[in-house]
A and B are shown apart, each in its own frame.
Chain A
């Protein structure tokens, strides 16, 4: 789907998407998307971290608490980690905590993992466009906010 068409075809709902990305692969992939002028929806807010290994489970929960409709975690491909093995830690942690998120009442379909390298500007554009479109389709994420406010 054309990224831009997705943005305008909505009925006023603008998803809030928080992306935790590593400094060496995905952040640079997003930079490359910029250098190549690859358009994607404006909904994503990137939080730059040194490595996906730094991304704590609580950060994902925090994003939903402040009203995010989707969370993206993205780092280097397996074997490419700038810090040798941080992305493996992130992956293992995600396997473990996926169920815990569900137990907390978080819709795990709203958490997205992607490996995007510094060379994959195109992939960054695609991933963000797809996640934005999907989130738009799913509608605003109220369930967890309601739990927080209760």
Chain B
């Protein structure tokens, strides 16, 4: 016979005003299995909790119903009280007679009757509750950071400095990301590389960081605390341990016509190359599509020249396995491809700006390379078509951003500041030049940001025009920019030498595939979803996977760095315990009944269901059944509803419990 205790709360007047608590308590005492029924003015207070604890002990209760507020308010409180009295905390149920009853039903008789019903349901349920223990999961104290831009670097260094081994995976031949290609940064105009490259070197030299460049995450298996990650190291064709980075090889390479990825096609590189002089690791890589030896079997000059014997034309892709406890995704962004004509597979739009058609219409990242001292022009601002110094430059905001017609309704957040920075840097290089900016709004929220834009306008004399550009054409080697100044209320035509498009920030290519591998959601634009926009901004719905930087949404460097440190902090918090404790209210499958149809596996949003093999004593396969991985299951119960043989069930919301609740309403 069950021994259930019912504790009905007055909540001062909150419940008692519309519910006859005394009558409810007396009726509850008559419910099947109820051993005792008590009331208290404030059940959550110390005396209330003491009443619960003492009654559990005195009456040797094996189930408790608290009729009070919402379980979202105090279920944890009462579970703790029960545990203190020696009762398993999962043998507690709550009847919500405040939010769902006294507060919404002024008719006292009806509210009282409903309160009794709610307690009846909770009492019927608690008879089927099972004592549960938190699931303990061991933790591998090692982290994977995907993406070696400024966010990934920050996260990796924070973790490594705290003594956590880190595997840092970067797709490109060097870490540094987009920031390594910037000339100066807003709002201080300090040199981007001067800030970043020391951090890159720190990564390379850190004893706790294993750096994988030219590498991508191939597969992620396992669950929080216990991920098994397969990393594909693409063939680099260089033995980076033997290589000294002397540069003999790329100086003799005859294949010199490949557009440099690092310079966004503003310059060329050789087939064997380091992406930029400060690359980390400072070792070359061979482009297998450009190398004459690898494509045509001829040449091999670099190998002849290399005194270290580091060239390995026979190099193959390699799969490496890393076991980690947590994953930080920091894959960053790319710029919106501005719709070159005839490239259908790209996002279409802005063909009228002639990007890709007129060499002097460039993107903001390309402009960064023209400004950079390490760029293709050595820091001299010369326009791509004829190498002359542009005397009039037009900057266009919101190319792609905030434009539903082009598929991106969001604001890319950094472009207003980037434009202001560009006008200033331009003016500092070309003193007699004139910068024009076409903008929709100026969004310069941030510490010292608005002041920075004002400086661009007031000190460096940039002309800001509120309006859009409708078309750009080319005449006699100059660009005719036709737009409108909506504040002046008239059309505006500017004859420019160079046009810079501040195109939208989009998540880096391939992030959706990665998101699927680590089971993180992404929005319609491909930005990864955090678990809660305010309270869990770096966590994701996949336990043990965190996000930071621009893969999560457009953001600038300070924000990316702050978020990266936050993600590292969350990983450290996770690693601060020997074992992870997870809620035990998860699904389980009765394997003796399971027919192995795996409907549950297809429906599970967390890929938490594995196929287990049942074998006989001789080790012969008898059948395959579904099995829940307790590290992955989040307890949604979708499998329970999907299972045709009713083998799947959910602790805390089992078939027995739910049916008992409904049945008692008969």
Contact = CB atoms under 8 A, between A and B. Distances in A.
A83 B653 contact: no
A50 B633 CA distance: 13
B107 A66 contact: no
A46 B100 contact: yes
Chain A, interface size: which category? 35 or more
Interface in A3-60: 4, 7, 16, 18, 27-28, 30-31, 33-35, 37-40, 42, 45-51, 53-57, 59
A89 B173 CA distance: 43
B525 interface: no
Given A34-B98, A47-B658, A66-B666, A40 B104 contact: yes
B147 interface: no
Interface of B: 70-72, 96, 98-101, 103-107, 110-111, 113-114, 117-118, 121, 521, 541, 585, 603, 605-606, 634-638, 640-642, 650, 652-653, 658-659, 661-663, 665-666
A56 B599 CA distance: 14
B100 A34 contact: yes
B497 to A, nearest CB: 46
A83 B99 contact: no
A48 B650 CA distance: 13
A150 B638 CA distance: 33
Nearest to B638: A53
A49 to B, nearest CB: 6
A85 interface: yes
Contacts of B658: 47, 49, 59
Contact of B114 (A42, A50, A85): A42
Ranked 4 nearest A-B pairs via Cβ = A34-B99, A54-B637, A53-B638, A83-B636
Given A51-B637, A84-B606, A89-B603, 6 more contacts: A37-B104, A39-B106, A45-B665, A55-B641, A66-B666, A83-B605
Contacts of A51: 636-638
Given A16-B665, A85-B605, A54 B638 contact: yes
B662 A66 contact: yes
A30 B114 CA distance: 15
Nearest to A125: B104
A140 interface: no
B638 A83 contact: yes
Nearest to B636: A83
Contacts of B121: 45, 47
B103 A34 contact: yes
A131 to B, nearest CB: 15
Contacts of A55: 641
13 contacts: A18-B665, A27-B72, A28-B72, A30-B99, A31-B96, A38-B104, A39-B104, A42-B107, A50-B585, A53-B638, A54-B637, A86-B605, A90-B641
A39 B71 contact: no
Contacts of B640: 54, 56
Contacts of B662: 18, 47, 59, 62-63, 66
